Amino acid sequence: MSSLRSRMAIECMLRDTDVMLDGPRPWDPRIHDDRFFRRVLAEGSLGLGESYMDGWWDCPRIDELMERVFRAGVDRRMPRSLPDRFESAKARLWNLQRASRADQVGKRHYDLGDDLFRIMLDERQIYSCGYWRHAATLDEAQEAKLDLAFRKLQLKPGMRVLDIGCGWGGAARFAVRRHQVEVVGITISREQAKIARERCRGLPVEIRLQDYRNLRGRFDRIFSIGMFEHVGAKNHRELMQIARDRLAPDGLFLLHTIGGSRSVRNIDPWLGRYIFPNAMLPSMRQVSDAIEGLFVMEDWHNFGADYDQTLLHWHQNFEQGWPQLADRYDERFHRMWRYYLLSCAGSFRARRNQLWQIVLSSSGVPGGYVRCS
């Protein structure tokens, strides 16, 4: 197909989006290389993201572009590339998140470097959606999210608490200092474990470099913030069974996870290749199937719209801090990370993706559970 015909095909796909190729508005993409059109038609979202990394097009507001693309459903009409089909087939046939592969996302994403995440995130380095209901800054939004989660868990002094996917230790430290509990945190990232131990030194916090499948012991409360997206559909039930076995009979489990509107087996191909290998966003049905017969679902809270603002703050911090990172990361990484943050902001603004906090009990809270807000 010629470049002209390819361009016309892309323009036809964008007809209902209020997006104009080479247009004057901030969300209109400026095309620098005519190979862009055939690449996107052949490779779909993978070609779109890679061509941006390669400098074939630019757009001042990628988030606004992607919001329009997602709202119009253009992404679902784009062709699926051969690599995407191959990844989907692998996800159906094999367990890509099995224990022997569990550390891949840690090595390829979370171990990138503390300099990157320290610049991008809030003061506690909380790498998940903030809660913006009464917040004005990223620090306030992340504190509000942790406060909300721990009030939902009804933490009390002396409780033994498990943090599945503890990140850099910010949530564990907050729980201990605010609620006088003891915390065991697990992560599959060596860099996260090292920094979390430093952050929680002197506190009743134990940080383990450990997969959730190797957990032992009993806990009064369990929480998992921003980790379930790496578990995979073939392992959802196993994680829930382990959490059920590790939770005290009168305990509560809070699951904080991004959710998708459809049941799938693998993540967007570009995100899977460059940002979160082997990730998968669970659907409501997949979460429900995983918890059926194991827990009572006490509360299901969606504040996915707040992820848009969180991602925009991360992007702002990243761009402002880029001069401190440029010696270690090249310009292609710069464009990759910008595309990641802004395209994800667009997806949440379009309400394509959600953010759920789900409270589960072992056998039902006597008299009923009352949600905090």
User: Per the structure, how many domains does the chain have?
Assistant: 2
Whether 351 maps to a domain, the answer reads: yes
How large is the angle between the packed helices 305-325 and 138-152, nearest 10 degrees? 130
Whether 84 maps to a domain, the answer reads: no
Whether 205 maps to a domain, the answer reads: yes
Whether 156 maps to a domain, the answer reads: yes
- For residue 213, which amino acid is it? R
Structure tokens at 254: 């809070």
Specify whether 74 is located in the same domain as 177.
Answer: no
pLDDT at 94: 55
Strand order across the beta sheet in which 205-209 lies = 205-209, 182-187, 160-164, 219-225, 247-260, 353-361, 296-302
Residue where one domain finishes, among candidates 79, 94, 114: 79
Specify whether 198 is located in the same domain as 56.
Answer: no
pLDDT at 118: 96
In DSSP notation, 118-129 reads: HHHS-TT---S-
Residue ranges, the chain, pLDDT below 50 = none
For the beta carbon of residue 85, count every other beta carbon within 10 angstroms.
11
pLDDT at 3: 80
Structure tokens at 210: 């450990």
DSSP code at position 106: I
166 given a catalytic annotation: no
pLDDT at 50: 97
Whether 373 maps to a domain, the answer reads: no
pLDDT at 372: 77
> Which residue out of 129, 166, 200, 344 is catalytically annotated?
344
Decide: helix, strand or coil at residue 96. Answer: coil
pLDDT at 53: 98
Whether 89 maps to a domain, the answer reads: no
Specify whether 357 is located in the same domain as 258.
Answer: yes
Whether 59 maps to a domain, the answer reads: yes
pLDDT at 267: 85
- For residue 177, which amino acid is it? R
Whether the predicted model's global pTM rises above the 0.85 cut: yes
Specify whether 234 is located in the same domain as 340.
Answer: yes
Residue 222 belongs to domain with CATH number: 3.40.50.150
Specify whether 73 is located in the same domain as 117.
Answer: no
Specify whether 122 is located in the same domain as 191.
Answer: yes
Do β-strands 247-260 and 353-361 pair in parallel, antiparallel, or remain unpaired? Answer: antiparallel
* Nearest Cα to Cα of residue 252 among 358, 146, 373, 172: 358
Specify whether 55 is located in the same domain as 138.
Answer: no
Specify whether 203 is located in the same domain as 332.
Answer: yes
Specify whether 307 is located in the same domain as 239.
Answer: yes
Specify whether 109 is located in the same domain as 69.
Answer: no
* Nearest Cα to Cα of residue 196 among 130, 283, 106, 284: 106
Structure tokens at 370: 């009352």
Decide: helix, strand or coil at residue 130. Answer: coil
Specify whether 135 is located in the same domain as 63.
Answer: no
Residue where one domain finishes, among candidates 39, 64, 79: 79
Cα–chain-centroid distance for residue 30? Answer: 29
Whether 368 maps to a domain, the answer reads: no
Find out whether 46 and 273 touch, Cβ atoms under 8 Å: yes
Specify whether 54 is located in the same domain as 136.
Answer: no
Structure tokens at 314: 């991360």
Per-residue pLDDT tens digits for 39-68: 999 999 999 999 999 999 999 999 999 999
Which residue range is the domain that position 49 belongs to?
A: 3-79
pLDDT at 123: 97
Distance CA 178, CA 161 (A): 13
